Amino acid sequence: MTLAIILYTGAIGLLVIGLAGVVMSSHLFRMLLGLVIAEAGANLLLILAGYRWGGAAPIWQAGQFPTTMVDPVPQAMVLTAIVIGVGVQALAIALLIRHRHYSGTLQRTGGLNQLQADLDREAGVRHTRSSDAPTLNPLTEVEHVH
């Protein structure tokens, strides 16, 4: 039971840390890194779901398949998930490159401000931010030096 708790804590911890990173970070690339961590946790959870006590790898050994072996189906699923994850990450990075070309920043609110400014300019409205407008995140108001 303790082993199960330790393993599940590792996997669920990775998943939760990753998702918390996605929600809490103000930098888009860090959000992507959080997604990668969450993915690792989810894959680990899937692998754990197919574990069997005393199970060997599902591979032909010494003339036969092992009598007790771990479930090969979740492993095949995780193989799929990793490949899809790579595709998603590449796509996300391409979008980030595009976003940075457009707005010149990867801060989460930077792109929003740029979009609002563009919309206002197209509509012929003067782009002003009201002093009463709520600051989305006080951290991003500070000019970041990279």
Partner 1 sequence: MAWTPLLFSGGLAFMLFSLFMAVPFGEPLMRVGGMIQQTDGELGAANLVTAVVLGYRALDTLGELAILFAASTSVGLILTGVKQRTVSVECEELGELFEQASTLLLPLLIMVGFYIITHGHLTPGGGFQGGVIIAVALFLPTLAGRGAALLNHRLIQQVEGGAGALFILLGVAALLQGESFLQPWLPVGEIGALFSAGTLPLLYLAVGIKVGAELAALLTHLSTNVPSPEVPR
CB-CB contact of 80 with 39 (8 Å): no
> Dihedral, CA atoms, 36, 59, 48, 35, nearest 10 degrees?
10
From 36, 40, 71, 108, residue interacting with partner 1 (rule: CB under 8 A): 71
We find the least distance from the C-beta atom of residue 39 to partner 1, in angstroms, to be 15
4 binds partner 1 (CB under 8 A): yes
Among the listed residues 32, 40, 31, the one whose alpha carbon sits nearest the alpha carbon of residue 13: 40
Nearer of residues 102 and 125 to partner 1, judged by Cβ: 102
The total of other beta-carbon atoms located within 10 Å of residue 66's CB is 15
Radius of gyration of the chain (CA): 23
From 29, 56, 76, 112, residue interacting with partner 1 (rule: CB under 8 A): 76
Residue ranges in contact with partner 1 by CB under 8 A: 1, 3-4, 7-8, 12-13, 15-17, 19-20, 23-24, 45, 48-53, 57-60, 65, 69-73, 75-76, 79-80, 82-84, 86-88, 90-91, 93-95, 97-98, 100-101, 104-105, 144, 146
